[in-house]
Amino acid sequence: MPTTTAPTPALTPAGLDHRHGAPAATSLRDVAGHGPSAPLAIENPSVRRWVEDCIALCQPDQVYVCDGTIVEREALYTKGVAEGVFVKLNQQKWPGCYYHRSNSNDVARTEHLTFICTPSKDTAGPTNNWMKDKEAYAKLKGLYHGCMKGRTMYVVPFVMGPIGSPLAKVGVELTDSVYVAVNMQLMTRMGAIAWKELGDSEEWTRCLHSNGDVNPDRRYVCHFPLDNTIWSFGSGYGGNALLGKKCLALRIASYLGRQQDWMAEHMLLMNVQAPNGERTYVAAAFPSACGKTNFAMLIPPEQYQIAGWKITTLGDDIVWMWVDEAGKLRAINPEAGYFGVVPGTNSKSNPNALASMKRDTIFTNVALVPLADGTYDVWWEDHDEPAPAKAIDWQGNEWTPASSTKAAHPNSRFTAPMANNPVLDPAADDPNGVPVGAIIFGGRRSKSVPLVFQAFNWMHGVYLGATLGSETTAAATGQVGVVRRDPMAMLPFIGYNIRDYLVHWFRMRKKMADCPRIFHVNWFRKNAQGKYMWPGFGENMRVLEWIVNRAKGRAYAKETLLGWMPRMKDINLEGLTISSDDFHELETVNADEFKAEILSQEELFLKLAGDLPKEMVFQRELLISRL
Ligand code: OXD
Ligand code: MN
């Protein structure tokens, strides 16, 4: 590693001074009176009216309407570099890549500051923070008032979903963050294409975002599902600020899906192609930072590759599903990019993610490494390359391998367009989506929960999903490593009452002629010595093969009290050094441990109290009777 002579770049915390520079001027409107004033380049009357209202409220100096072009992206980066929001990385090593460091109080989703805002609390249900909609509007209006003085307001039109898909949805985000504007270009189908998709329609999601002064005491992520509106203030963090993602594609979309008979889920979507060319599309729900990106981009072990197995990715975080005329569940990924966790990514854990972030990527809160020629590299824990002699850590402090702190924040992220993924599935952009052959639920459980089992049927599968437990991670603020119930990995993302959400899952079955088989996996079980018992990563292909074969009615399974489970000989373990004792331990179901598990599910059941769908009660009774 060359010696570090480059100066520490002066990064302005997001949300402070945005006064200098200007992007391409074609659709720039100067509202502060110094310079030429252009009309807003927005044809849709309902959007134009709303933008005018928001300008009056937020009082930006300038308004810039994004067109989604590469030229624009470069202009935005140039502006962001001038403002200290971005650092350009060494372009030989990282073509088109930039670095961003957020305010250190703003590095993860803030679930306690995230609200569902409706007239009645019952619409939000017992698992969401609720604010009366009128009160939320009043409170946030006070915060937005004049908040963009001295700043540029970016008008970001975007589409969630492949263009022309029956589920594709248009949103318009207004933001004072150039970081958010560029991220939205990477994560969604952004720009002129959205105006075309929208036409004159009034059906679009109104997304207003301001970094404010990035103060956690004035931070709110508010959803108004009845108004198709999102208001986010005081945070520049991805999940709080890129409003197309968690806010629209999960919280608002889950609410719309229930009204319109479709589903928005926190799932990856992948294709498993067998040697004979047969394709099985698999959707899998794991809580945040439990390996969805790694699983979606899995590289099969060598003997599988030689035999002709292939894995391709459609999405790594969100899936929208509907039932087609033939009664088949179909799915699309509404996003166009990845916002993935960086630490731990290396050529062993996820070579495809590494390849995806090789160009045109934003790195947020990893370590910045000054190089001898005055340019910058990046580094993170568990990188292939050894730690640099000196770096600037995610908080902007000098870091050396002797430091006791982490160089990259555990929730540091990369934003990359999905087109970068070497194993992108050809159907990722298909408006008709793909048929779902299997649904997998999984959590991070060091004890009790076996490697894999299959639900007896859809109803049982919904119960498994609804009672999913996982140890918490750094993706949200709060204690890490405690088991919490995370129904369908959607606990922080269900945009309405969980009771109605579960009923919706049960009801969707009635629309399907045949339904996908449902499975449960746990890659994280540990032995008495605290070591992981399953190698995970590419080796998960072995479990996936059994899942695909079960979904196609081909593989054997034994009946257990939890569900259908493979025997050792039903899983291809060739080339793996796992003893039969270890495999049996990995698949052990201990009735006493499961009694405790059922007790710990009470936490969720109590919250739902009298509102628990009856199917859930019956499934629990059946499980207890099997114990
Ligand atoms: C994410 C999350 O960023 O789930 O995907 O937190
Ligand atoms: Mn996620």
Region of residue 369 (left: phi > 0; alpha: psi -120 to 50; beta: else): beta
Q: Is 58 a catalytic residue?
A: no
Expressed in angstroms and rounded, the spacing between residue 344 Cα and the centre of ligand 1 is 16
pLDDT digits (tens, 9 = 90+) for 526-562: 998 999 999 999 999 999 999 999 999 999 999 999 9
| CB distance 73 to ligand 1 below 6 Å | no
Expressed in angstroms and rounded, the spacing between residue 495 Cα and the centre of ligand 1 is 15
Q: What is the DSSP letter of 474?
A: T
pLDDT at 288 over 50: yes
pLDDT digits (tens, 9 = 90+) for 43-57: 999 999 999 999 999
Kindly report the protein residue whose alpha carbon is nearest to atom 2 of ligand 1: 288
| CB distance 239 to ligand 1 below 6 Å | yes
Q: Which residue has the higher pLDDT, 8 or 303?
A: 303
Atom of ligand 1 nearest to the CA of 238: 3
Per the residue annotation, which of 66, 147, 247, 290 is the catalytic one? 290
Expressed in angstroms and rounded, the spacing between residue 527 Cα and the centre of ligand 1 is 28
Kindly report the protein residue whose alpha carbon is nearest to atom 3 of ligand 1: 239
Expressed in angstroms and rounded, the spacing between residue 171 Cα and the centre of ligand 1 is 20
pLDDT at 326 over 80: yes
Nearest to 598 by CA among 546, 544, 561: 561
| CB distance 317 to ligand 1 below 6 Å | yes
**Percent of residues, the chain, with pLDDT higher than 90:** 84
In this predicted structure, what is the pLDDT of residue 605? 81
pLDDT at 16 over 80: no
pLDDT digits (tens, 9 = 90+) for 70-87: 999 999 999 999 999 999
Atom of ligand 1 nearest to the CA of 239: 3
Atom of ligand 1 nearest to the CA of 292: 5
Burial pattern 47-76, b for ≥16 Cβ within 10 A else e, equals: beebbeebbebbbbbbbbbbbbeeebbebb
Give SS3 for 203.
coil
pLDDT at 627 over 60: yes
What is the Cα gyration radius of the chain? 24
Atom of ligand 1 nearest to the CA of 413: 3
Written as one letter, the residue type at 129 is: N
Is the pTM higher than 0.85? The answer reads yes
| CB distance 288 to ligand 1 below 6 Å | yes
| CB distance 292 to ligand 1 below 6 Å | no
Written as one letter, the residue type at 516 is: P
Residues by chain with Cβ below 5 Å of ion ligand 2: 288, 317
- Strands 152-160 and 62-65, how do they pair? parallel
pLDDT at 21 over 50: no
pLDDT band at 37 (very low <50, low <70, confident <90, very high): low
Mean pLDDT of the chain: 92
In this predicted structure, what is the pLDDT of residue 32? 66
pLDDT digits (tens, 9 = 90+) for 413-449: 999 999 999 999 999 999 999 999 999 999 999 988 9
Q: What is the DSSP letter of 476?
A: B
Q: Which residue has the higher pLDDT, 255 or 12?
A: 255
Kindly report the protein residue whose alpha carbon is nearest to atom 1 of ligand 1: 288
Expressed in angstroms and rounded, the spacing between residue 65 Cα and the centre of ligand 1 is 27
Expressed in angstroms and rounded, the spacing between residue 471 Cα and the centre of ligand 1 is 15
| CB distance 377 to ligand 1 below 6 Å | no
Nearest to 382 by CA among 543, 586, 537, 577: 537
In this predicted structure, what is the pLDDT of residue 54? 97
In this predicted structure, what is the pLDDT of residue 35? 54
Q: Which residue has the higher pLDDT, 490 or 38?
A: 490
- Provide mean pLDDT across the span 373-377: 98
- Provide mean pLDDT across the span 150-155: 97
In this predicted structure, what is the pLDDT of residue 477? 72
CB 378 within 8 A of CB 98: no
pLDDT band at 40 (very low <50, low <70, confident <90, very high): confident
In this predicted structure, what is the pLDDT of residue 609? 75
Which parts of 311-468 fold into alpha helices (H)?
351-356, 458-466
Ligand nearest to the CA of 111: 1
| CB distance 336 to ligand 1 below 6 Å | no
**Percent of residues, the chain, with pLDDT higher than 70:** 94
Calpha distance 411→187 (Å, rounded): 18
In this predicted structure, what is the pLDDT of residue 612? 87
Sign of CA dihedral 493, 496, 502, 506: negative
Calpha distance 519→513 (Å, rounded): 19
pLDDT digits (tens, 9 = 90+) for 385-405: 999 999 999 999 999 999 999
Phi, psi of 285 (to 5 degrees): -105, 115
For ligand 1, pick from 114, 183, 246 the residue to mutate: most ligand atoms within 8 Å of CB. Answer: 246
In this predicted structure, what is the pLDDT of residue 22? 40
Ligand nearest to the CA of 338: 1
| CB distance 290 to ligand 1 below 6 Å | no
Atom of ligand 1 nearest to the CA of 266: 4
Atom of ligand 1 nearest to the CA of 339: 3
- Provide mean pLDDT across the span 358-376: 98
pLDDT at 93 over 80: yes
